[in-house]
Structure 1
Amino acid sequence: MPAAPPDYFRYFPHSREAVSWGVAVTAVGYTHIRPHTPYPPGRHPKGHHFEWSRGRVLEALQVVLITAGRGEFEQRGSRPQRVEAGDAFMLFPGFWHRYRPDPATGWDESWVELAGDAVDRLCQKKILSPGTPVLRGAVDAGLDARLEAVHARAREPLPGFDAELAVQGLAVLAAWKQAGLVRQRKTRLARAVAAAERHFAEHLAEPVNIALLARQLGVAYSHFRAAFKAHTGYAPWQYVVHLRLAQARRQLAASDATLDEVAGRLGFSSAFHLSAAFKRACGVSPAAWRRRLGARK
């Protein structure tokens, strides 16, 4: 096993430019905690240091990856959870929490803190949820590699706001979310949803029989429909219409094709039906949308 990197931490000031980007790394670090030593170390600034008996509440979001050792993590409204090497946990803004290594083993912790509108939206939309604050097998999901990229950049930062560091921090959150999706894809229904998405994209203009497709994929229609909406946010037929309308916008913008021609290419029964679906989705008719686009050129 490679040697642990040297301990370090950095706290970054808030930047006006970070507001435009919507995300910023506000703190980052790596710490090796030896067995039977005090925790947390007393080197962090006020607002980040905490005592086990009192816990802590942060203003920003943190991801903490345990790369060696074991310990426990507790969050408001949930019981303490055991965490081991390879696990990660997320600390949500405004949520009381506390965590510590097992004195018998100590632990190594790799962490990053992020703030900004993009992070707030991910939490508000429950893409990142306090209901699932612990990620098992985070190293296997590649979270360690994402964090290492953050550490490499943070150890030699640019002056002022570092956009690349901010994006690398956001990639840590993407890796966290992706790890959960990988687990979901292992289910039969999830594989059926992925296959259906490919089918719809590859046969965009062809007639669609959702019930028949579900049978061909070996799943019950009612279960398939519910799983499809849970994964994509759309019912299957809505998803098909969404794809067709996206392609219609591209064709209307890039060619002089008539509405009848576009409708025929994309599986709409008539220009009228395309126009009605377009107006429901976009708020204007295809002709008005095309005129508006032309006025911007």
Structure 2
Amino acid sequence: MYHTWMRYFTPSPAHHRLGLVCLGVGLQHGTLPPVGPRVLNHHVAVVIGAGRGWYTTPDGTRRQVTAPALLWLVPGVTHHYGADPHTGWDESFVDFTGPATATYTELGYIEPENPLVPLADTAAARAAIGRITRAARRGNPFLEVETAAAVHELLVALRRARADTDADGDPVLQALARDAFLPLSVAEHAARHGMTPAALRTAVRRGAGCSPKDYLLAIRLGRAKELLAATELPVAAVARRVGYTDPAYFSRLFTRRVGTAPVRFRARQGHSVPGGWSTRVPDPDDPPRIG
């Protein structure tokens, strides 16, 4: 015995230009019939919240699926899976497509080579899927945009929920972020953490979807923007604060990556914040207020 609910959508060409669109959503539980073998032309995230079952890899290997878990179904690849016929499972699925899937794959949020992903929990993913199901009501004029936004949220939730990721993030990434403003090369950062440069590159690529150099650069330039916008520090001082001893090199790098020179970036902000910005992250449920 099983129960199922699903809706499918056909976004317009204009909605496809959002980069990511939702094609369908479903909630099922019980002793569901097997799916496949079949091949699709779009992505599907299948979230198993409870129960167990099986998944057959393209080479014919059958693997056990134990909740909580995620199945990635990717375009052009044969998949075949099903719930245990005795216990069943609870399943939520979201079909999606768009050019942004290539970038999410490059960044490690979608893993075609790792179709079965153990999860730590499914709460955040199910919340995102819940937003899609609520948006799926008939006659909703915002359906395509709401569901597209929720797919972005779902991909982030699934990346955070991976069982091999600590709740506070990857320790290597935390350490790099802590040391980002030190004037160190990638090799020196690796040595500080007892790693080879190659091992550091692999860890950062898996955790952040980019190279250590790009990861550090994003942190440095983000802080540089804050200092330029919120203080009167000279550009040379800003460069030193974020780890660059050569102000001219910093200015060239900033201009190339941000698209405008540091002095122009500061001028366009049009304001300064006496004392600088607070480093304390506000509570989104209780933000600072006047009075």
Scaled by the length of structure 2, the TM-score of the pair is 0.69
Distance 2:260 2:7 in 1: 53
1:220 to 182, 190, 194: 194
**Equivalent residue, structure 2, for 1:146:** 128
- Asked whether the equivalents of residues 72 and 116 of structure 2 are also in contact (C-alpha less than 8 Å), the reply is yes
What is the Cα deviation at residue 91 of structure 1? 0.8
**1:196 correspondence with 2:173:** no
CA RMSD of aligned residues (A): 4.1
Residues 119 and 138 of structure 1, relative CA distance in 2, 3 Å threshold: farther
**Equivalent residue, structure 2, for 1:71:** 53
CA deviation vs aligned residue, 1:21-68 (integer Å, no higher than 9, x gap): 222211111233448xxx25xxxxxxxxx6x5xx11111111122344
**Equivalent residue, structure 1, for 2:164:** 183
2:103 to 90, 99, 121: 121
Residue identity in the other structure for 1:286: A
What is the Cα deviation at residue 259 of structure 1? 4.2
Distance 1:177 1:185 in 2: 11
**Equivalent residue, structure 1, for 2:248:** 272
**1:21 correspondence with 2:21:** no
Distance 1:147 1:210 in 2: 39
What is the Cα deviation at residue 282 of structure 1? 3.8
Distance 1:275 1:114 in 2: 41
CA deviation vs aligned residue, 1:199-246 (integer Å, no higher than 9, x gap): 43xxx4x65598887787xx415377446643443436x655554444
- Asked whether the equivalents of residues 6 and 25 of structure 2 are also in contact (C-alpha less than 8 Å), the reply is yes
What is the Cα deviation at residue 171 of structure 1? 1.8
**Equivalent residue, structure 1, for 2:43:** 61
- Asked whether the equivalents of residues 47 and 69 of structure 2 are also in contact (C-alpha less than 8 Å), the reply is yes
* Unaligned segments of structure 1, at least 5 residues: 41-49
Distance 1:210 1:123 in 2: 24
**1:106 correspondence with 2:82:** no
Structure having the larger proportion of residues in helix: 1
- Asked whether the equivalents of residues 4 and 29 of structure 2 are also in contact (C-alpha less than 8 Å), the reply is yes
Residues 13 and 228 of structure 1, relative CA distance in 2, 3 Å threshold: closer
Residues 63 and 240 of structure 1, relative CA distance in 2, 3 Å threshold: closer
Q: Which has the larger radius of gyration?
A: 1
- Asked whether the equivalents of residues 176 and 216 of structure 2 are also in contact (C-alpha less than 8 Å), the reply is no
Residues 228 and 156 of structure 1, relative CA distance in 2, 3 Å threshold: same
**Equivalent residue, structure 2, for 1:286:** 261
**1:32 correspondence with 2:32:** no
Distance 1:260 1:66 in 2: 53
What is the Cα deviation at residue 192 of structure 1? 4.4
* Unaligned segments of structure 2, at least 5 residues: 269-291
**Percent identity of paired positions between Structure 1 and Structure 2:** 26
CA deviation vs aligned residue, 1:115-149 (integer Å, no higher than 9, x gap): 12222432355531122111224645643333233
Residue identity in the other structure for 1:271: P
Residue identity in the other structure for 1:184: T
Residue identity in the other structure for 1:86: P
What is the Cα deviation at residue 153 of structure 1? 2.9
Scaled by the length of structure 1, the TM-score of the pair is 0.68
1:218-257 paired onto structure 2 within 5 Å: 219-222=193-196, 225-226=200-201, 229-230=204-205, 231-232=207-208, 233-235=210-212, 239-248=215-224
Residues 193 and 245 of structure 1, relative CA distance in 2, 3 Å threshold: closer
Residue identity in the other structure for 1:274: F
Count of aligned positions: 264
